Chain A
Amino acid sequence: MINESNPVFVKIDKYKDILNIVEVINKKVTGVKQLLAELEELKDKETEELNSWKNNLDQITHKLETMQEELTRG
């Protein structure tokens, strides 16, 4: 178990490697955040389309009902 009171020593070359990796990680995380934002936008767009789809289907149902009513009235 790593004890907090005992510091560890990292070789300077490894330390530089770690810093470089952290920088790469930061860039990647920013990219991932951007991707997530794009996905969210797409999800919203999809929801919007699905809602409109449902709305159109409701309209068709209503029109069919009207037609049926008109046809049976005769």
Chain B
Amino acid sequence: MPKKPDEEDLFIRLNNPNLIRKNILESSKLILTILKQTYRIKQIREVKQAKISNLSVQIKELKILVQKIEELMPQYTKADLKKLLPDMPITKKSSSESSKSEKPEPKEDWDQEPKSAAPISDMDRITKALEDVQRKLQTL
């Protein structure tokens, strides 16, 4: 079926088609390079994430070790205890008693929180522990 005059194909002259072709190919190449880079960045981030998790574990272990040292170190001298508790006879604590009293303070604070409150995030817990350490340092 012959085309009507107004449906005839129209053409536009391109003076430099090679340049356009070259640009298309180069753009395509660059896009593929970007895709490759995206993949590489993703891989780097995965490795980074694994390392950060490992770091977090190591830091937690360090925290436990430092706490252990704190537990092993005597908290008060006899003279200090006499000053703090003049009426109390100073006797040696049993191991169960001492472990009870040496529990970290923040835990007690958390127990006092209302049960309806939103669950405490790790960040809140760390902030609270940090405040606790700072308070202890100020009392030294």
Within 8 A of B (CB), among A15-74: 17-18, 21-22, 24-25, 28-29, 31-32, 35-36, 38-39, 42-43, 45-46, 49-50, 52-53, 56-57, 59-60, 63-64, 66-67, 70-71, 73-74
**Which residues of B approach A to under 8 Å, CB–CB?**
12-16, 19-20, 23-24, 26-27, 30-31, 33-34, 37-38, 40-41, 44-45, 47-48, 51-52, 54-55, 58-59, 61-62, 65-66, 68-69, 72-77, 79-80, 139-140
> How many A residues touch the partner, as a band?
35 or more
What is the interface of chain B mostly: helix, strand, loop, or mixed? helix
In the complex with contacts A31-B58, A70-B20, A10-B37 CB distance below 8 A: no
Could you tell me if A60 and B61 are in contact, using CB atoms closer than 8 angstroms? Answer: no
Closest chain-A Cβ to B31's Cβ sits at a distance in Å of: 7
In the complex, chain B residues whose CB is within 8 Å of the CB of A39: 48, 51-52, 55
Q: Which of A3, A14, A29, A53 contacts B37 (CB 8 A)?
A: A53
Scoring A49, A63, A70 by chain B CB atoms within 10 A of each residue's CB, the highest score goes to A63
Which single member of B37, B61, B69 contacts A52 (CB below 8 Å)?
B37
Are A42 and B68 touching (Cβ within 8 A)? no
Closest chain B CB from A50 CB (angstroms):
7
A-B contact sample (18 more), CB < 8 A, given A24-B65, A32-B59, A56-B34: A6-B79, A32-B55, A32-B58, A35-B54, A35-B55, A35-B58, A36-B55, A39-B52, A39-B55, A42-B44, A43-B48, A50-B41, A57-B34, A60-B27, A60-B31, A67-B23, A70-B15, A70-B16
